[in-house]
Amino acid sequence: MLDTRQLIPDGCNAGTVLRVGIGVNVVLALAVAGGRADAGVPGLPGGAAPYAAAFLELAAVAEPATLISLLGWCVLRRLGNETPPMVQRVLAWLLPALAAFLMNRLTLGAVHPLLGHGDLLAALLGLSAGMFVQHYLELRARAFSPAIDEARFQALQSRIRPHFFFNSLNAVLSVIREDAPRAERMLENVAELFRAVMGDVKRLVPLEQELELCRRYVEIEQTRLGERLQVHWDVGAVHPRARVPQLLLQPIIENAVRYGAERLAGQCDITVSVRQQGFRLEISVSNPIAREPLQREGNQIGLQNIRGRLALIYDLEARLETRVRRERFELTLSIPVETKAAT
């Protein structure tokens, strides 16, 4: 999750791994092409073999050093929450330098025809790479926070409020005269929903709290739609301190109600499944779909909203997949298991 106080690159994040991996290989390719006249370049006299051999020779140092650096960053980031910013930066810089030095010593030795006295140069190149990557990712994190990040979240959040407002008021008005205690319960549920909507949707909350919010939402919708709306909860064993972004699951269930129960004449059975698979939280929501063509534009806007929030919070670590199978719409969401509250 984005945290501008964490200055060590997140080596466990798929987005960081992808960006660093691609960057290292591009730099290696350019260095080999420009560093040796006899390396050969694909498509030119001499063929690709010398070029490939030189590239692989350097990759034997750079690739393992990159992997060691990413793993080291991953560990240091999770141990250094209270470390001063400058210390975090220095640690992030020195780790690639040490990894490059050790890998050069183990694979190529002290002298290399392209690198010359390879140990020192490899360490300097590792240090330069570490400084560049750390500085780039720090600037990227600051670019998303607070102004741009907050503006995007507010824009995404604003799309949720109208559905809450109208659906909730209609549900309460439908029972206020006939069943006052039930209407009171509905108003309590509405208050909790609005408190969540008006709050910080970036904040991590306990999974059980988010599930309780979803149950309150379902109770409101059952008042409006009657017994034909049935939601089956299948919550497996998860980490007791597992946390998710506030108001993440509720819009998914709202999407299932809006494009399932509201369009079906008969009973609508919605299934919500929550499982922890290793270090990932798997959430699945399944609902029947009407036989008439769906207004996919509205449905896609809702899913784009969810994907937008996931991208801002988890970068490439989150995955959202949808499919239609046996006249049911199935949504599967996979996110990392977070056990610490966002501060």
Upper half-sphere CA count for residue 226 (Cβ side, 13 Å)? 6
Mean pLDDT for 106-135 is: 74
Is the separation of the CB atoms in 255 and 218 below 8 Å? Answer: no
Q: Domain ranges in the chain?
A: 14-145, 148-336
* Per-residue model confidence as pLDDT tens digits over 188-216: 888 887 777 776 666 788 999 999 989 98
E strand or H helix at 202, and its extent?
none
Residue 40's pLDDT band (boundaries 50, 70, 90)?
very low
Distances (CA, A) of 80 to 86, 186, 253: 12, 45, 37
pTM over 0.85: no
> Tell me: domain 148-336, CATH 3.30.565.10, correct?
yes
Window from 1-10, 15-24, 26-35, 149-158 with minimum mean pLDDT: 149-158
CA 315 to chain centre: 4
- Is a pLDDT exceeding 80 seen at residue 151? no
- Is a pLDDT exceeding 70 seen at residue 331? yes
* More confident site: 268 or 299: 268
Residue 149's pLDDT band (boundaries 50, 70, 90)?
low
The pLDDT score that the predictor gives to residue 1 is 46
The pLDDT score that the predictor gives to residue 224 is 76
The pLDDT score that the predictor gives to residue 145 is 59
